[in-house]
Structure 1
Amino acid sequence: MLDARRTGNAIADLPKDVRPTTLEEAYFIQDRMALAYDDIGGWKVGAPSADATPMFAPMPLNWMGPSGCELRGITHRMRGLEAEIAFLIGEDLPPREEPYTREEVIAAIESCHPAIEVIESGLIDPLSTDRFTWLADMQIHGGFVFGDGVPNWQSIDFTQENVALAVDGSVRVERTGSNTSGDLLRLLPWLANEGAARTGGLKKGDWITTGSWTGLTQASAGSSVDVTFSTAGRVRLRFA
Structure 2
Amino acid sequence: MISTHLFELTALVVDAHGTARPVAPALRRAAQFDLQDGYAVQADVWKLRGRRTAGYKIGLTSPPAQKAFETTEPIVGTLADPDLVRSPATIAAGAFPLFAEAEIAFLIGADFPPAAAPFSEADVLARIENAHASIELCRSRYGWEDVSLAELVADNSNAALLAIGEPLRDWRSADLTCAPVTLRRKGHDDIRGSTAAVLGDPRRAITWLANWLAQRGESLTAGQVVASGSCTGVTPLGEIEELVADFGLLGQARVTIGPDETNRAGASAWTSA
TM-score, normalising length: structure 2: 0.79
Aligned 1:76-225 pairs, distance under 5 A? 77-96=96-115, 98-126=117-145, 128-198=146-216, 200-225=218-243
Give the whole-Å Cα distance in 2 for the aligned partners of 1:121 and 1:61. Answer: 19
* Residue aligned with 2:137, SS: strand
* Residue aligned with 2:163, SS: strand
- In structure 2, the partner of 1:48 is 62
Residues 23-52 of structure 1: per-residue CA shift (max 9 Å, x gap): 111111111222215211101124233993
Larger of the two Rg values belongs to structure: 2
Cα distance change, pair 37–79 in 1 and its aligned pair in 2 (3 A): farther
Q: Is contact 2:76-2:153 (8 Å) kept?
A: no
Query: Which of 101-110 and 1-10 deviates more?
Result: 1-10
Give the whole-Å Cα distance in 1 for the aligned partners of 2:214 and 2:153. Answer: 19
Q: CA RMSD in A?
A: 2.2
Q: Is contact 1:156-1:231 (8 Å) kept?
A: no
Give the whole-Å Cα distance in 1 for the aligned partners of 2:185 and 2:144. Answer: 21
- Code of the residue aligned with 1:8 in structure 2: it is A
**Could you tell me how far 1:144 is from its partner in structure 2?**
0.6
Residues 98-138 of structure 1: per-residue CA shift (max 9 Å, x gap): 42221111111000011111010111244x12221122101
TM-score, normalising length: structure 1: 0.89
Cα distance change, pair 93–113 in 1 and its aligned pair in 2 (3 A): same
Give the whole-Å Cα distance in 2 for the aligned partners of 1:211 and 1:70. Answer: 22
Query: Higher helix fraction: Structure 1 or Structure 2?
Result: 2
* Unpaired stretches in structure 1, ≥5 consecutive residues: none
- In structure 2, the partner of 1:64 is 84
- Code of the residue aligned with 1:48 in structure 2: it is S
* Unpaired stretches in structure 2, ≥5 consecutive residues: 1-12, 67-71, 259-273
**Could you tell me how far 1:169 is from its partner in structure 2?**
5.0
* Residue aligned with 1:9, SS: coil
Give the whole-Å Cα distance in 1 for the aligned partners of 2:216 and 2:224. Answer: 14
Q: Is contact 2:195-2:201 (8 Å) kept?
A: no
**Could you tell me how far 1:217 is from its partner in structure 2?**
0.9
Give the whole-Å Cα distance in 1 for the aligned partners of 2:233 and 2:35. Answer: 22
Residues 204-233 of structure 1: per-residue CA shift (max 9 Å, x gap): 011111111111112222321111112331
Q: What is the aligned length?
A: 237
Structure 1 segments, 4+ long, off by >6 Å, are none
